[in-house]
Chains A and B, each alone.
Chain A
């Protein structure tokens, strides 16, 4: 089969088939109504909206951590106390010096 000829014939058929340019009834009215309802707010409104969203998120996170801290009080034992261990290690040389004297 001559594929080049088939391609030529089909392209010619597509060229002969000019698509219609009819527009649905009241299309421009619908588009304009959509655009009017979507008119972009000014920069200030966008900033205020963004900041409000950020504030709400921050409050939510604070509340969650607060609730977590209240509901799970950590019992500190001498063995677990990191700050005490740190201090002991740091001052070990001083303590040894005192004992030697």
Chain B
């Protein structure tokens, strides 16, 4: 008979570390999907996921079971991704001259024939990845959660541990930061 989540957690807390495996198996796809929003290389994604599970295991005694385990785990995942972003800020220093040919073509077409562009173009995806890499860690986190994942301010506050006003302030700053990056990118290219 399959054990429930609460039973598995109780067993882990009693010292049976092997009971953690079904939880890892069940929730790893969500952890990996979230980590892939913030890290490009698969090795980095795996490091983040591993870190999340190590933290989850060591902090399991603090899980009170009032909210679903998944919510608790996702908070930990988002915070680990944020720590990863803060620790890997080197990429922000790269220049826009490093844009690939498809990215440059996409930008060119945006200027000349914007109506012909599709949102789903691979070049646009690469370009937004470049732009996201240039954002500061809080700006990148808030843009991802608010604009890309379409979460509410309240949800973001719960996930990140920031207050609601702080999320709003950071969202405002993040949009400004993104606009500045886009302005610089287009200025570098067209002026």
> Is residue A75 contacting chain B, with contact meaning CB distance below 8 A?
no
Report the separation of the CA atoms of residues A41 and B187 in the bound assembly, to the nearest whole angstrom: 58
Q: Please tell me if the beta carbons of A39 and B28 are within 8 angstroms of each other in the complex.
A: no
Binary interface encoding of chain A residues 2-30 relative to chain B, with 1 for a CB under 8 A from any of its CBs, else 0: 11111101111111111111111001111
Within 8 A of A (CB), among B13-54: 15, 17-18, 20-21, 24-25, 28-30, 32-34, 36-37, 42, 46, 49-50, 53-54
Report the separation of the CA atoms of residues A14 and B15 in the bound assembly, to the nearest whole angstrom: 42
> Is residue B6 contacting chain A, with contact meaning CB distance below 8 A?
no
- A-B contacts at CB below 8 angstroms, number: 109
Contact of B183 among A3, A12, A32, A40 (CB under 8 A): A3
Report the separation of the CA atoms of residues A39 and B120 in the bound assembly, to the nearest whole angstrom: 46
Contacts of A7 in B (CB 8 A): 175, 178-179, 182
Contacts of B20 in A (CB 8 A): 31-32, 35
Q: Please tell me if the beta carbons of A14 and B57 are within 8 angstroms of each other in the complex.
A: no
Within 8 A of B (CB), among A25-72: 27-32, 34-36, 38-40
Residues of A within 8 A of B (CB-CB), count: 35
> Is residue A90 contacting chain B, with contact meaning CB distance below 8 A?
no
Q: Please tell me if the beta carbons of A9 and B117 are within 8 angstroms of each other in the complex.
A: yes
> Is residue A1 contacting chain B, with contact meaning CB distance below 8 A?
yes
Q: Please tell me if the beta carbons of B182 and A13 are within 8 angstroms of each other in the complex.
A: no
Q: Please tell me if the beta carbons of B21 and A14 are within 8 angstroms of each other in the complex.
A: no
- A41 to B: closest C-beta gap in Å: 12
5 chain-A/chain-B pairs, Cβ below 8 angstroms: A5-B114, A9-B117, A17-B128, A21-B33, A23-B29
Chain B residues packing against A (C-beta within 8 Å): 15, 17-18, 20-21, 24-25, 28-30, 32-34, 36-37, 42, 46, 49-50, 53-54, 57-58, 110-111, 114, 117, 119-121, 124-125, 127-128, 131-132, 143, 147-148, 150, 175, 178-179, 182-183, 186, 190
Q: A7-B175, A20-B33, A21-B33 are in contact. List 15 more A-B contacts (CB 8 A).
A: A3-B179, A6-B110, A14-B148, A15-B148, A16-B119, A16-B125, A18-B33, A20-B36, A27-B46, A28-B24, A32-B17, A32-B18, A32-B21, A36-B18, A38-B54
